[in-house]
Amino acid sequence: MTQSSPTSEAARPTLVELAWTFNHIALASFGGGLSAWSREVIVVEKKWMSDEEFLSALTMCRILPGANQVNMAVFVGTKFGGIPGAIAAAFGLTFIPVVIILALGYAYFRYNNIPALQSTLKGAVAAAVALTFSMAIKTGQKCLRGSVPLVLFAATFVLNGVFRWPLFAVLAMIAPLALVWAWPRKGAR
């Protein structure tokens, strides 16, 4: 049997480890940097998935309805623990952050007129953007090999990031082209 990820059967995470790991991911990252931190923990630190498998899963999680990282937690949890694994990973990712955001939301609406709070929030935004760029660079180096992937990446970036076209419209145009290019052919690759 061929293994699609670096994790062997003996190294499968327990439900507690899934919950704890996703809690760690949630608490150690900033907003948009969650994907970058997820990759760092799941691929680099834990070695539960390969870069290719992580990127495939992340792409699927972004296309599907719902929060991307909750979808990723469900994907990883299901891979290692079925439905209980999905529940443990999603719980780990969301429970403590929900409690924290409720407390912070209350504090923000009570003290939002303090300039130091506004400066702190601007710094957090900068950190989130930096984490997102970091993930794009690290994963792009491994996955954007050849002219077709680079063109598809550039087209997606320009249409969605520069021209601000809706993501669904961009995916409706780019995804079929990517699927045709990546579809396995006899004797190819």
Per-residue pLDDT of 21-78, as tens digits, reads 999 999 887 655 788 889 999 999 999 999 999 999 998 998 889 899 999 999 999 9
Per-residue pLDDT of 147-170, as tens digits, reads 999 999 999 999 999 999 998 999
Residue 92 lies in a domain: yes
Residue 2 lies in a domain: no
Report d(CA 38, CA 130) in Å as an integer. Answer: 15
Residue 3 lies in a domain: no
Whether residue 21 sits in one domain with residue 35: yes
Confidence at residue 187, expressed as pLDDT on a 0 to 100 scale: 62
Answer left, alpha or beta for residue 164, where phi above 0 means left and psi between -120 and 50 means alpha: left
Whether residue 90 sits in one domain with residue 48: yes
Whether residue 90 sits in one domain with residue 61: yes
Whether residue 80 sits in one domain with residue 55: yes
Please check whether residue 55 is in contact with residue 139, taking contact to mean a CB–CB distance below 8 angstroms. Answer: yes
Using only C-alpha atoms, the chain has a radius of gyration, in whole angstroms, of 19
Task: Give the start-end residues of each E strand in the chain.
Answer: none
Number of domains making up the chain:
2
DSSP state at residue 47: -
Whether residue 97 sits in one domain with residue 25: yes
Position 3 pLDDT exceeds 50 = no
Whether residue 56 sits in one domain with residue 130: yes
Whether residue 161 sits in one domain with residue 131: no
Whether residue 101 sits in one domain with residue 23: yes
Residue 120 lies in a domain: yes
Report d(CA 95, CA 36) in Å as an integer. Answer: 20
DSSP structure string for 99-166: HHHHHHHHHHHHHTT-HHHHHHHHHHHHHHHHHHHHHHHHHHHHH--SHHHHHHHHHHIIIIIIS---
Please check whether residue 160 is in contact with residue 134, taking contact to mean a CB–CB distance below 8 angstroms. Answer: no
Report d(CA 86, CA 74) in Å as an integer. Answer: 4
Per-residue pLDDT of 85-99, as tens digits, reads 999 999 999 999 899
The whole domain housing 189 covers 144-189
Whether residue 31 sits in one domain with residue 16: yes
Residue 69 lies in a domain: yes
Whether residue 162 sits in one domain with residue 136: no
Residue 34 lies in a domain: yes
Whether residue 21 sits in one domain with residue 61: yes
Closest CA to 95 of 15, 27, 16: 27
Confidence at residue 2, expressed as pLDDT on a 0 to 100 scale: 42
Residue 31 lies in a domain: yes
Whether residue 150 sits in one domain with residue 160: yes
